[in-house]
Amino acid sequence: MFNEGFASVQRNGKRGFINEQFVEVIECQYDEGYDFNEGLANVKLNNKWGFINKKGEVIIPFIYDDADRFRDGEAQVIKDDETFLITMSGKRLDTPVTTDYLYQLE
């Protein structure tokens, strides 16, 4: 299923992304990956989560133990058993995490 013009695909046990013309535009190199949301996709590499843009560039480094998609410019992440929110530039927010943000994490 396509989201923001891309779909996550799996080849040889690795995840990447195709465009709506079914052309692989981001190489299948990630251990896990979810659809783009607000221009970024959360992907896992070497057991850590980070975020890439639609060009496949790493925007937020692979430093998180788990990461949810962006919503309203914020994403919930877990690092060292601590759950918090980050901005689309990777800046940590002091906003308390509420149950509204509890998606796939845990």
pLDDT one-digit tens code per residue, 44-83: 999 999 999 999 999 999 999 999 999 999 999 999 989 9
Q: Is 83 among the domain residues? A: yes
Q: Is 39 among the domain residues? A: yes
3-state secondary structure of 101: helix
pTM over 0.85: yes
**Residue 88 · residue 102 · CB < 8 Å:** no
For the chain, the domain total comes to 1
Q: Is 36 among the domain residues? A: yes
Give the closest residue to 3 by CA, choosing from 42, 32, 31, 29: 42
Q: Is 1 among the domain residues? A: no
* CA R_g for the chain: 13
User: Which residues lie across from 67 on neighbouring strands?
Assistant: 77
Range of 75's domain?
Answer: 6-101
Rounded distance between C-alpha atoms, residue 88 and residue 39, angstroms = 9
Q: Is 20 among the domain residues? A: yes
